[in-house]
Structure 1
Amino acid sequence: MAAPMSEGGKALVDAEPSVLPGGAAPYGNFPDYSRFHPPEGRVRLLPTALLSELFPSPRAGPLLGLDVGCNSGELSIALYRHLLGFKENKASPDHSTAGKDLSLLCCDIDAELIERAKQHSPFPGSISYATLDIMDPNARETVLSCYLSRFNRSMFDICFCMSVTMWIHLNHGDSGLVKFLSCLASKCTYLLVEPQPWKCYRAAARRLRKLGRHDFDHFRSLAINGNMAEKITQILTEDYAMEFVCCFGSTSWDRSLLLFKSKATQH
């Protein structure tokens, strides 16, 4: 997934895609991401009744979701369809398996990818898109608060962070990764994270070198390294008041889907 981020605190919300020849994308904003990591490889690991299991109590309004680094939206749509019980080629959900309503805000740093997502979204009434540098605190608070205020809410029920953490880490260093995880933990009740393993860091750096580019600024100085699923779990549970709920398994490209819950909220 494309990772929303900035260099030196400068917002990049209007930037053109930073995709280099040969398949290297310094911010993860690959224009055809879903072709080599299909959404089905992730959503098949998640229970179709997940929302009902996590939020069994009825409520007046919809559940609110945030998808950080949504790229051009294919995975966002697949998650929405899967979690609300849409059957293949059906325009309405199977309410016997869904039982919930979901409004989803999807954000990405790449304005062109967001425009593609808007143009191809089959659920414009339930899925919103925003070009956003999640690492710019002013832009982040403006976009997220504005969306939440529409529902008179202060937090999202669930946040999706699918293959984003590495791009934050490579471009913002250890402190940037920690700040990013802290931000997500403070914004949601449940957090679903798909961390990239360390071998992906090496592969991303190697792609840049093959193109004659310098390494990522922070790659060689990262002290948070090795088993990234374990390290991210440690940061979220020990530093940011989240509890590990479960691992839904791993994709065919060796990335685990980890679910966390905020200790500060109860449902």
Structure 2
Amino acid sequence: MAAPMSRESLEPGAAPYGNFPNYSRFHPPEGRVSLLPRGLLSSLFPAATRPLLGLDVGCNSGELSVALYQHLLGLQDGSSSPEPPGAGTELKLLCCDIDPELIRRAQQSSPFPASISFASLDIMDPAAREPLLRSFLQRFGRSSFDIGFCMSVTMWIHLNHGDRGLLEFLALLASLCTFLLVEPQPWRCYRAAARRLRRLGRRDFEHFRALRISGDMAQSVTRILTQQCAMELVRCFGSTAWDRSLLLFRSTAAPPDHGTQ
């Protein structure tokens, strides 16, 4: 699947992969990070060797990635905050998005280039995905990530790759991450995305009318991860102002590369 081009003039419906040029303006990062408790990383990984490794899939232009990094490490809010010495020894983030223009913006504006890496990637393309992820993990002598972030991405995978694509995507994240924080879009967002395309006179999402996984998508994602992907639901951190749940899962499969309790 070729990566689409983002432009400031694009209407929302013209971003069929969720690659909205100004996404953080209508879904501000604070709406998510404010739901996460301070000290979350230390509570999840009390005995783990640092740095912890994180994977953020569908990072857009990076505002939420930076906000998550700051919040999880207890850094001062505000994207202009300098990174204090030693912060990068705690957490290293690999953030990817299908849109190279959004990644370019993220790279240019990131205040933490030593700790947050941004890369253009179609996560559903194994030929592109595997070398990038392997290269990043090998830098730290690791084979998996400690924590993954999938924030309002599942719908776009589902619409563009169908039920099978959603199952494959969730299985992939479960295989890569010890913990996984997911924010699924509700079903009404699927219908709204399809309407936006139709209003612009564009072809409907290829898989939309054939989807069998529908209805309560937070429940569906939870069921898939817990029944098919060897994960357990640890906690729901509540819902954002735009009615999307933040769900934290933990792998019940093989132990991670380094110890957690």
* TM, length-normalised to structure 1: 0.90
Cα 1:20–1:120 change in 2 (3 A) is closer
Q: Aligned pair 1:43/2:26, yes or no?
A: no
Deviation at 1:214, TM superposition (A): 2.0
Which of 81, 85, 91 is equivalent to 2:82? 91
Provide the secondary structure at the position in 1 that maps to 2:93: strand
Which of 107, 117, 129 is equivalent to 2:96? 107
**Distance of 2:171 and 2:162 partners within structure 1:** 14
Which of 210, 213, 233 is equivalent to 1:224? 213
Amino acid at match of 2:77: E
Cα 1:219–1:42 change in 2 (3 A) is same
Indicate if the aligned counterparts of 2:10 and 2:21 stay in contact, CA closer than 8 A: no
Provide the secondary structure at the position in 2 that maps to 1:157: strand
Unaligned runs of 5+ in 2: none
What is residue 3 of structure 1 aligned with on the other side?
Answer: none
Unaligned runs of 5+ in 1: 1-5, 7-11
What is residue 184 of structure 1 aligned with on the other side?
Answer: 173
Cα 1:245–1:182 change in 2 (3 A) is same
**Distance of 1:50 and 1:179 partners within structure 2:** 28
Which of 43, 51, 55 is equivalent to 1:53? 43
Indicate if the aligned counterparts of 1:237 and 1:244 stay in contact, CA closer than 8 A: yes
Indicate if the aligned counterparts of 2:232 and 2:251 stay in contact, CA closer than 8 A: yes
Cα 1:18–1:51 change in 2 (3 A) is same
What is residue 125 of structure 1 aligned with on the other side?
Answer: 114
Which of 218, 222, 246 is equivalent to 1:233? 222
Q: Aligned pair 1:212/2:201, yes or no?
A: yes
**Distance of 2:84 and 2:37 partners within structure 1:** 15
* TM, length-normalised to structure 2: 0.92
Provide the secondary structure at the position in 1 that maps to 2:112: coil
Provide the secondary structure at the position in 2 that maps to 1:245: strand
Q: How does 1:112-191 map to 2 (within 5 A)?
A: 112-191=101-180
Considering only aligned residues, what root-mean-square deviation do their CA atoms show, in Å?
1.9
**Distance of 2:9 and 2:224 partners within structure 1:** 32
Cα 1:253–1:142 change in 2 (3 A) is same
Provide the secondary structure at the position in 1 that maps to 2:185: coil
Which of 27, 50, 54 is equivalent to 2:17? 27
Provide the secondary structure at the position in 2 that maps to 1:208: helix
Instruction: Give a deviation string over 1:193-229, Cα, whole Å, max 9, x none.
Output: 0000000000000000111112101111100000000
Deviation at 1:169, TM superposition (A): 0.2
Amino acid at match of 1:181: L
**Distance of 2:88 and 2:8 partners within structure 1:** 40
What is residue 62 of structure 2 aligned with on the other side?
Answer: 73
